[in-house]
Amino acid sequence: MAQYKNYTADYSRKLDNSIDEIEQFKIVKKIRDGLPGMDILHGDNVKDIISVISDAKAAGLTAEDLATVARQNVEDSVVLSSAISPILEELGPRGKYPDSLDTVYRPIYEILGGYVDVGPILKNVERSIVGMARDLSAAISEAEEISKIKPLTSWKDKYFEKDESGLYRLKDRVANKKLASLAIVMRRYQECLEENGLFDFDDMIQEAISVLKNDAGFRMSLSERYQYIMLDEFQDTNPAQFMIVKCLTDYEKPVVMAVGDDDQAIYEFQGALATNLKDFQEHYKAKVVALTENYRSTQEILDFSSAVIRQAPDRFEPNKKLFARNPKYSDLKESLISRREFLSSDAEFGFVAREIARLVRSGVRQSEIAVISYKTKYFEPLLTYLKEYPEIKIAYEKRDNLLEDVRINQILAISRTVLDIVAGRNVNSAIFEVLSSEFFGIDMIDVVRITGSARREHRSVLEILAEEDKSEIKVVYEFLMDLARRAPHESFDTMSWRIVEKMKIGELTEVEQFTFYENLAALKGKLKRHFGEKTVFLADFVGMVDDYESAEMVLSAISPYRDADEAVQILTAHKAKGLEFEYVFMIAVDDMAWGKGKGNNNLLVLPKNLTQIRHTGTTDGEKLRILYVAMTRAKTHLIMTNSLYDFNGKSPKRLEYLEESVQKDGKTGLEIVESPFLPTGKVVLDYDEGAVQNSAKQGSVADLKSWLRPYVANPNLRAIYKEKLANYKMSATGLTSFIDLAYGGPVEFFNRQVLAVPRGTEDESLVLGTLMHRVFEAVTNRGISDAEATQFFLSELEKEGIEPEIKRKLSDKGPASLKLALEKFGGILRQGKAEVNLERDGITVDGVPILGRIDHLIIDEDAKTIEIYDFKTSPYHKEGWKSHTTLYKYMLQLGFYKLLLNNSSLYKNYTVTHGHILFVVPDGKDGRVYDKVYEFNDADEADLVKLIAAVYKLIISLEFMDKEIFIPATQKATFKDIKEFIGKIIQKA
């Protein structure tokens, strides 16, 4: 879509801000509540409505499509009811076979049969009559085969019901009414998004489809650009995503290849269909190449998993046979698949923990061991058992409720109090929590005394605080009043920084600091997603929290937990997809967890000819594929465990997909459990008397105690830091900040990139730079005049969450600087490209992933040359590039941008000739703006590449945290200090 904006000037749809779940909830709820009081959809659950809208979009259906389906269904319903209901009335209270077949159901089929060949309502939605006829034909055949009426009665009950008069009518009557109303809600929802420049995830796909379908020129230009298309993991594609590919390949003999495995199609809940590969083959008449050689698993594991997945319906290659080709496994003699059953979850998890500890002690790398469960809730109790063994290190993703973080809650309580002060409301309700915050240091006796006095005297706590003599209480009062003064105009980022400054975070343990900053960053991410580019204030923050609570949604965040670099992976089957391990433990392998699919809990019923668009709950096919994915993560050893009784005393059924049956041993009379899929044919039962006694000796009692003891997470932060930085990509700003010992350096890098420590207040220079960049982009991309540029600057300035005094200064300084900059550089700005984004191009230099956004490029297409321009609002420096800290950093930035262009797919065939630093703020001495030109050369570039590689190596290895490199910034640092530091970096790397 970004390409389309550059392709045409007529595109009116703004896709500026994506909406999050809570904004979507609010919009749809408002629309639903605005429906007429008697509207059939008025009482339906908002989340159910949202779910159906998303399902419709994923299926490529618009609001108009839903209305069309509802309208046609109603028309068909009228015809069918009048024609078929009288025939059904002939059924006696106990209609029997074959009389009812001949007198009722065959005549009905004759009526329906006349519609079998009618075209669909839409390309992917058939007439409801066609489905009824097909189902009745199948029911008649089944009834004739078994000589019973039941299949026919089931057909009748599926499609018909009796009204209050006892007459038959079609069941889809209510569903069609709801669909018609839903079409209205969906249309208004889309209108609301478009009017406010908003979009949801499904919109991105639908808008792309619309553009490709309606603009032939743009479609053909993309088709010429992407002449060879490979679609990886195609089984995870939904119909709307596939439609984009169809549009791009809508010409004779396209070259397109899909790679996928329908046995691993486990994302039906996202609209991905298990039939994707069949759809692809039919659409393109594609040649099928079956990949049957497997280099991950043993033949035993392949045969076992294949036997299980054969139960799944609609497989693309039902008779596919996989062959193990890894030579390491060719000499294996014994079975490495183990299936064990225990009396209790306590015994099961005790065994898993002991077995993993044994493997670790025997020298197995912990990263080659995984525990896979169906959902997180099944592995959470296991963590305590694993922690009983110091040698076991674990890694998993934990999900936290942000509002359960005590310090996030303190920020919220202070924010509520401040907003109450601003609004002149009584602050008594939240002030107790604020005053009790330990970082304020107020004695609890004083807190109780102050709040008690307020109640007795019927006064505001604020009044009593204002009269207090104790210094620590005065400080809190003044702090709250200062925040109240700033709240209307300072952003949440700045306000939260002021609050965090008071919290004495530095006195916390390293784990506590990391956790708090992680949660604060997650909270800010939620705010960013919720409000988009809008400046967020305290009122917005509190409002968003209130919205989540009213919608009964959790403000959650996912964060990594890791004990060490080498750790046992604890994960769900969905997370395990694409991974592989020597040893895989699958736990709670029973019917409750891994077994029969559960129905969709969406109560908003759809007409039967639209049920295919909804994820109907986890089907048997999807469950089998999830099971298959988990099994095939194992390279050599697969250990599957279950228990007869869980921690709640419930007794889950054995997993039906393994076809396990209980038999009696002919010799001993003891029970045995057999499965035709297991290599040994038998399940190992660890609950006979001897096994129970042996288990107790090995510590099952201790295991039970460990389960009762709360699990304490104590992560290895170095391992987590390393994981967080594993996918780090170098930017020009990141590089220059890392080496700048005066204002950046490694400590600052750690605080920003790893801990996400909040920044301080926005200073005048930073705000000016941000606004000037926005204006210059508008001058280039929108062609606004100098006068319009000034007005745009002032309007953008008004949106900034900064102090009024800074706004006042910038309202004078900004337009004056703009006037001079546009006079001098207007010719440059009104040509070329602005804000060239190279952040998603997968660019590497000497093996280092790099990214960046370049302020401005002038491109000569004839000469195939590029000049780079970077805007600076800092003071002009006339010194040489290598004799001043600031200029040296600017030189590195320009060189970095050249490397980006030289290694990008789009610009690699161009020659980058010069780099320009445009000092766009008047110089303090002569009042002029300057263009400082840098001549690129091979020696500087070679030094830069060496520096990039060295810094990157130190970052991803965490060696930058070693004592000699982990240097805090000091403004006393000179250019000489920085050059010496760079030498130390290169030497260490």
* Per-residue model confidence as pLDDT tens digits over 338-367: 999 999 999 999 999 999 999 999 999 999
Find the largest Cα–Cα distance for the chain. Answer: 106
Of 592, 700, 676, which Cα lies nearest the Cα of 343?
700
* Per-residue model confidence as pLDDT tens digits over 228-249: 999 999 988 888 889 899 999 9
Phi and psi for 318 in degrees, rounded to 5?
-60, -25
Residue matched to tokens 């599957």:
640
Q: What is the pLDDT of residue 11?
A: 60
* Per-residue model confidence as pLDDT tens digits over 471-516: 999 999 999 999 999 999 999 999 999 999 999 999 999 999 999 9
Phi and psi for 570 in degrees, rounded to 5?
-110, 115
* Per-residue model confidence as pLDDT tens digits over 457-468: 888 888 899 999
How far apart, in whole angstroms, are the C-alpha atoms of residue 480 and residue 466?
11
Tokens encoding 16:
């500026």
Quick check: 544 and 22 in contact, CB under 8 A?
Answer: yes
Amino acid symbol at 196: N
Q: What is the pLDDT of residue 616?
A: 58
Q: Cα 292 to the chain's mean position, in Å? A: 33
Pairing mode of beta strands 168-170, 160-162: antiparallel
The residue that leads in pLDDT, 801 or 267, is 801
Q: How crowded is residue 177: how many other Cβ atoms within 10 Å of its Cβ? A: 17
Look over the chain and give the mean of its residue pLDDT values, rounded to a whole number.
89
Query: Which of 91-100, 186-195, 418-427 shows the lowest mean pLDDT across its residues?
Result: 91-100
Of 685, 655, 727, 743, which Cα lies nearest the Cα of 342?
685
Query: Which of 7-16, 297-306, 709-718 shows the lowest mean pLDDT across its residues?
Result: 7-16
Work out the pLDDT band at 702, boundaries 50, 70, 90: very low
Q: What is the pLDDT of residue 676?
A: 92
Helices (H), 872-933: 885-902
How far apart, in whole angstroms, are the C-alpha atoms of residue 151 and residue 100?
12
* Per-residue model confidence as pLDDT tens digits over 937-970: 999 999 999 999 999 999 999 999 999 999 999 9
Model confidence at 707: pLDDT above 50: no
Model confidence at 329: pLDDT above 90: no
Of 440, 406, 412, 679, which Cα lies nearest the Cα of 527?
412
Residue 363 φ/ψ region, left for φ over 0, alpha for ψ in the -120 to 50 degree band, beta for the rest:
left
Tell me the average pLDDT across 294-322: 91
DSSP 3-state of 144 = helix
Q: What is the pLDDT of residue 271?
A: 65
How far apart, in whole angstroms, are the C-alpha atoms of residue 136 and residue 142?
10
Burial class (CB within 10 angstroms; exposed 0-12, middle 13-18, buried 19+) of 855: buried
3-state SS string for 428-486: HHHHHHHHCCHHHCCCHHHHHHHHHHHHHHCCCHHHHHHHCCCHHHHHHHHHHHHHHHH
Running DSSP on this structure, what letter comes out for residue 685? E
Work out the pLDDT band at 95, boundaries 50, 70, 90: low
Work out the pLDDT band at 334, boundaries 50, 70, 90: confident
Model confidence at 96: pLDDT above 80: no
Phi and psi for 222 in degrees, rounded to 5?
-70, -40
What is the share, in percent, of the chain residues with pLDDT greater than 90?
Answer: 67
Quick check: 609 and 133 in contact, CB under 8 A?
Answer: no
Model confidence at 194: pLDDT above 90: no
Quick check: 639 and 338 in contact, CB under 8 A?
Answer: yes
How far apart, in whole angstroms, are the C-alpha atoms of residue 870 and residue 857?
9
Work out the pLDDT band at 693, boundaries 50, 70, 90: very low
How far apart, in whole angstroms, are the C-alpha atoms of residue 211 and residue 649?
57
Of 624, 640, 636, 628, which Cα lies nearest the Cα of 580?
636
Model confidence at 690: pLDDT above 70: no
Work out the pLDDT band at 4, boundaries 50, 70, 90: low
CA 295, 298, 299, 305: dihedral to nearest 10 degrees? -100
Question: What's the Rg (C-alpha) of the chain?
Answer: 34
How far apart, in whole angstroms, are the C-alpha atoms of residue 395 and residue 401?
19
Of 175, 146, 164, 158, which Cα lies nearest the Cα of 69?
175
Q: What is the pLDDT of residue 332?
A: 77
Residue 832 φ/ψ region, left for φ over 0, alpha for ψ in the -120 to 50 degree band, beta for the rest:
left
Burial class (CB within 10 angstroms; exposed 0-12, middle 13-18, buried 19+) of 602: buried
Instruction: Pick the most confident of 77-86, 355-364, 603-612, 647-656.
Output: 355-364
Amino acid symbol at 149: I
Model confidence at 697: pLDDT above 60: no
Work out the pLDDT band at 621, boundaries 50, 70, 90: confident
Phi and psi for 484 in degrees, rounded to 5?
-65, -35
Burial class (CB within 10 angstroms; exposed 0-12, middle 13-18, buried 19+) of 76: buried
Residues in the chain: 989
Of 625, 640, 635, 638, which Cα lies nearest the Cα of 673?
640
Work out the pLDDT band at 209, boundaries 50, 70, 90: confident
Of 52, 67, 87, which Cα lies nearest the Cα of 160?
87
Work out the pLDDT band at 700, boundaries 50, 70, 90: very low
Tokens encoding 691:
């096994």
Burial class (CB within 10 angstroms; exposed 0-12, middle 13-18, buried 19+) of 71: middle
Q: What is the pLDDT of residue 695?
A: 40
What is the share, in percent, of the chain residues with pLDDT greater than 70?
Answer: 94
DSSP 3-state of 641 = strand
Model confidence at 895: pLDDT above 50: yes
Residue matched to tokens 């061991």:
369
DSSP 3-state of 264 = helix
Query: For the chain, how far is it from start to end, CA to CA, in angstroms?
Result: 42
Query: Which of 127-131, 867-871, 929-933 shows the lowest mean pLDDT across its residues?
Result: 127-131
Q: What is the pLDDT of residue 483?
A: 96
Q: What is the pLDDT of residue 705?
A: 45
* Per-residue model confidence as pLDDT tens digits over 540-591: 999 999 999 999 899 998 888 999 999 999 999 999 999 999 999 999 999 9
Tokens encoding 52:
């159906």
How far apart, in whole angstroms, are the C-alpha atoms of residue 294 and residue 292?
6
Contacts of 795 (CB under 8 A, 6+ apart): none
Q: What is the pLDDT of residue 599?
A: 53
How far apart, in whole angstroms, are the C-alpha atoms of residue 76 and residue 73?
5
Helices (H), 800-884: 804-829
Quick check: 673 and 682 in contact, CB under 8 A?
Answer: yes
Tokens encoding 11:
């595109």
Please report the sign of the dihedral spanned by the C-alpha atoms of residue 740, residue 743, residue 745, residue 751: negative
Work out the pLDDT band at 225, boundaries 50, 70, 90: confident
pTM for this predicted structure:
0.83
How far apart, in whole angstroms, are the C-alpha atoms of residue 431 and residue 451?
8
Pairing mode of beta strands 853-860, 865-872: antiparallel
Question: Which element (helix H / strand E) includes 416?
Answer: helix 406-423
Quick check: 32 and 41 in contact, CB under 8 A?
Answer: yes
